[in-house]
A and B are shown apart, each in its own frame.
Chain A
Amino acid sequence: MKMKTESKPEKRPKMVKQSPSERRSNFEEVALGYNRYEAVAEANRCLNCKKPPCIEGCPVGVDIPRFIRQIAEEDFDSAVLTLKSTNSLPAICGRVCPQETQCEAVCVLGKGGKGDPIAIGGLERFVADYEMEEGVTIPDLRASTGRRVAVVGAGPAGLTAAAELAKMGHAVTVFESLHAAGGVLVYGIPEFRLPKSIVAAEVDFIRRLGVDMLMNSVIGKIGTVDELLREYDAVFLGTGAGLPSFLGIDGENLNGVYSANEFLTRVNLMKAYLFPEFDTPVKKGRRTIVVGGGNVAMDSARCALRLGAGEVTIVYRRGEDELPARAEEVLNAKEEGIIFRLLTNPIRILGDENNWVTCMECVNMELCEPDESGRCRPVPVPETEHIIPADVVVIAIGTSPNPLVSMTTPDLETAGYGTIVADETGATSKPGVFAGGDIVTGSATVISAMGAGKVAAKAIDEYVKGAVRL
């Protein structure tokens, strides 16, 4: 029975988190998820809108009201099927999607600031975690089409495309350059935000859909796209934006200065936080500065803190309102004691006679007129140069596409910063080659990459069915 709207609570249950004082010294998950009572209660707040805007707000088009209704009915098994029919990585999305700017942003309950939107992300995570505890079921697979598709890159875009294509009955091989599948989910996002066992379980689900995953396979080196096209009917490129940007200031090659990619890869993929049980080291600074204001900067700062840095400072050239990171992650970082020096820009990094970083010189900034991107352009305030001591500096100012594939595929059209040009279906300038995710858009979110992988899978399906085999 549906309750009347007025009688519903306006607030969502707060998700239990590890306390800041506890979590700042461990790598275990911060947010602990809803229990079934909280989940059912929250699901019961859903209005079950006739024209649900939340579905529109989801880049992969999950039937949100349906799975929420199934939670309310305590039919969790059906909720799993609903979620998985459109999203192959729900435990990941439930944790790292920016729901507050997507599905939850358009939830009717949250309109007009009267109440909280439904905690769609929290509920998605609940359902996915329930499935993992109960044992994952593999859907019946469609009969083989006899078509073969190569997917380059096992990140969010590639994994999604692979899963969708496998469900359509195509034989899919994924080529991944690192030794583990997941892309940014394994090298970038830290354990305390997305446990690697969760990623491994969702990757395993895709393997069990029949997808063949080859690790240590660097396309552009072990083979070219043209060579893949001789063996496969189509190729999907989901190679991401893996090339780290640096500031281009003095001192960036000093010992102790990292790109966020390196710092996070050492900590997350290589498990440097467990050194020396794991072999890969990372410098544990006493004072760490992280330059940048996005999620990657927050992740880097919070990793540095957990490694034992006494003082971790985020240096960002714009203000609080301009921080590109999720508000929740900024809050988490603040609760843990990360220092924010906003409207501050690095000028140079200084080191000692042994080439080790000692401090960073910064200048205060102020915001002027909005630029083409719509954000206010920061300009330096004269005579505000100052020194911040540091023994580790992490540069987290963004990444651009890795050129290994485009360099070895001459007839693949690329645009500024090395992105691959693709239309709305993912089709590139090269017949049979599709692309999606950060390699097309430049760095964006996990879910937008998944959306692109899903759209491209549809286009690839049509292409390989229609393609005349040579």
Chain B
Amino acid sequence: MPFTILKKQELVPTVHQMDIAAPRVAEKAMPGQFVILRIDECGERIPLTIADFDAADGTVTLIFQEIGKTTRQLASLGAGDSIADLAGPLGCASTIEKFGTVVCVGGGVGIAPIFPIARGLMKAGNKVISIIGARSADILFWEERMKEASSELHVTTDDGTKGHHGFVTDIVQNVIESGEQVDRVIAIGPPVMMRAVAGVTKPFGIKTVVSLNPIMVDGTGMCGACRVLVGGVTKFACVDGPEFDAHEVDFTLLMSRLTMYLPEEKEALDYKVAEEPAV
């Protein structure tokens, strides 16, 4: 049974939002969980963290950036089109309870999955200080949504075109040093960003959680492609995670495993381009 795309929107260049009809997934989805999708019979299975869900409408919202063959193909689809498979919600949900003050950090496309977590934490009665960052103002999205889901919102851009000129870690540092009693930090974004946030919070002993995005195939604990090292122990991100204690994660291993198929990713993209009719 295919899954129909109800709405599709290019939020910023190469970053797309897609609302997909998946009532059974939407009914069970929780912040922090992900889905595995496959576009068609020839497609690969890729994990995408759930950016939003609406049980009443039966929809799941996904946000993705065009990087490789699959995400480019996905971006070419629009409302009314459908994808072959969508399995989920997978992985463990984010721990949402009243911690006190929680800093939520979203970098790049990581702003999408941090949103439902921030909203959940707000609902649970926390003071939520959100920090979202991007390379540049023109690729920053969901600022309004994040504002609504947070007690206060900070924006950073690497090039200074919006908000603080610099990195999200600068603000994390500032917030902690301002004397704010931070009880928990949750950071989602590129591995380098998550590693940097972990580096900032570690000296202060603040519990910090990151959501890892290794390569996956089945997403149900069957293949072990998503092996990550946490506290010296091998874990499967798909079933044991995707959230882990940032201070225990071996980010070097994570980053090296993410490069495993770079040559093949390029080959797949070249093949797709060659197959496309010349314009």
Residues on A facing B (Cβ under 8 Å): 177-179, 187, 214-218, 221-223, 242-244, 246, 252-253, 255-256, 258-259, 261-262, 265-266, 270-271, 275-281, 283, 354-355, 402-404
**Do B38 and A179 touch across chains, with their CB atoms under 8 A apart?**
yes
Main secondary structure of the interface of B (DSSP, over half): mixed
Q: For chain A, what secondary structure do more than half of its interface residues adopt (helix, strand, loop), or is it mixed?
A: loop
* Other-chain residue from B43, B223, B268 in contact with A244 (beta carbon distance below 8 A): B223
Chain B residues with CB under 8 A of A279? 42-44, 69-70, 268
Write out the residue numbers on chain A whose beta carbons fall within 8 Å of the beta carbon of B67. Answer: none
Contact of A179 among B25, B42, B84, B89 (CB under 8 A): B84
Contact of A246 among B220, B224, B264 (CB under 8 A): B224
For A262, the closest partner residue in chain B by CB is B223
Q: How far is the CA of A160 from the CA of B271 in the complex (A)?
A: 41
A246: which B residues are within 8 A, CB to CB? 224, 234
Of chain A, the residue at the smallest CB distance from B37 is A216
- C-alpha spacing A243/B239, complex, angstroms: 11
Give the shortest distance, in Å, between B221 (CB) and chain A (any CB): 6
Q: Which residue of B lies closest to A278 (CB)?
A: B42
- A222-B25 contact given A177-B220, A279-B70, CB 8 Å threshold: yes
On whether A276 and B87 interact (CB within 8 A), knowing A177-B220, A246-B224, A261-B224, the answer reads no
Within 155-205 of B, Cβ neighbours of A (below 8 Å) are at none
Residue among A179, A187, A270 having the largest count of chain B Cβ atoms under 10 Å: A179
Contact A277 B264 (CB under 8 A): no
A178 vs B259: C-alpha distance in the bound complex, in angstroms?
25
User: Can you name the residue of chain A whose Cβ is closest to the Cβ of B254?
Assistant: A253
- Assess whether B256 is in contact with A354, with CB atoms less than 8 Å apart: yes
Q: Does B253 contact A (CB under 8 A)?
A: yes
| Contact status B261-A281, CB under 8 Å | yes
Return chain A residues, CB-CB under 8 Å to B261: 281
Contacts A179-B85, A244-B222, A355-B256: A265 and B90 contacting too (C-beta < 8 A)? no
B224 touches which of A244, A281, A403 (Cβ 8 Å):
A244
B247 is an interface residue with CB less than 8 A from chain A? no
Is B98 in the interface zone, CB < 8 Å from A?
no
Query: Closest Cβ of chain B: how far from A216's Cβ, in Å?
Result: 4
Partner of B24, one of A217, A258, A265, A280: A217
State in angstroms the CA–CA spacing of A216 and B227 once bound together.
22
Instruction: Let me know if B217 and A270 touch, CB within 8 A.
Output: yes
A276: B residues at CB distance < 8 A:
264, 267-268, 271-272
B222, A242: Cβ atoms under 8 Å? yes
Decide if A270 touches B90 in the complex (CB within 8 Å).
no
A403, B236: Cα distance in complex, Å: 13
Interface residues of B (CB under 8 A from A): 1, 24-25, 28, 38, 42-45, 69-70, 84-90, 217-218, 220-225, 227, 229, 234, 239, 253, 256-257, 259-261, 264-265, 267-268, 271-272
Nearest-neighbour CB distance to chain B for A208, whole angstroms, equals 17
Q: Does B224 contact A277, Cβ atoms closer than 8 Å?
A: no
Cβ-closest 6 pairs across A and B: A281-B264, A262-B223, A279-B44, A276-B271, A216-B87, A355-B256
Q: Are A216 and B85 in contact (CB under 8 A)?
A: yes
> Which residues of chain A are within 8 angstroms of B227 by Cβ–Cβ distance?
252-253
Contacts A/B (CB < 8 Å), 9 sampled:
A177-B87, A214-B1, A217-B24, A252-B234, A261-B223, A275-B267, A275-B268, A279-B69, A279-B268
A221, A258, A275 interface centre (most CB from chain B within 10 Å):
A221
CB distance from B258 to the nearest CB of A (A): 10
Known: A222-B28, A243-B221, A265-B222. 7 other contacts (CB 8 A): A179-B38, A187-B218, A215-B85, A223-B28, A242-B220, A355-B256, A402-B222
Whether the Cβ atoms of A177 and B218 lie closer than 8 Å is yes
Q: Judging by beta carbons under 8 Å apart, are A221 and B268 in contact? A: no
Query: Are B222 and A261 in contact, CB atoms less than 8 angstroms apart?
Result: yes
Chain A residues with Cβ below 8 Å from B42 are 271, 277-279
Return chain B residues, CB-CB under 8 Å to A271: 42
| Chain B residue contacts of A262, Cβ below 8 A | 217, 223-225
A274 to chain B, nearest CB (A): 8
Contact of A265 among B38, B223, B229 (CB under 8 A): B223
Complex CA–CA separation, A262 to B261 (angstroms): 14
Q: Return the chain B residue nearest A407 by Cβ.
A: B239
In the complex formed, the residue of A with least CB distance to B33 is A221
Closest Cβ–Cβ distance, residue B194 to chain A (whole Å) = 18
Shortest Cβ gap from A419 to chain B (Å)? 16
Q: Are A216 and B86 in contact (CB under 8 A)?
A: yes
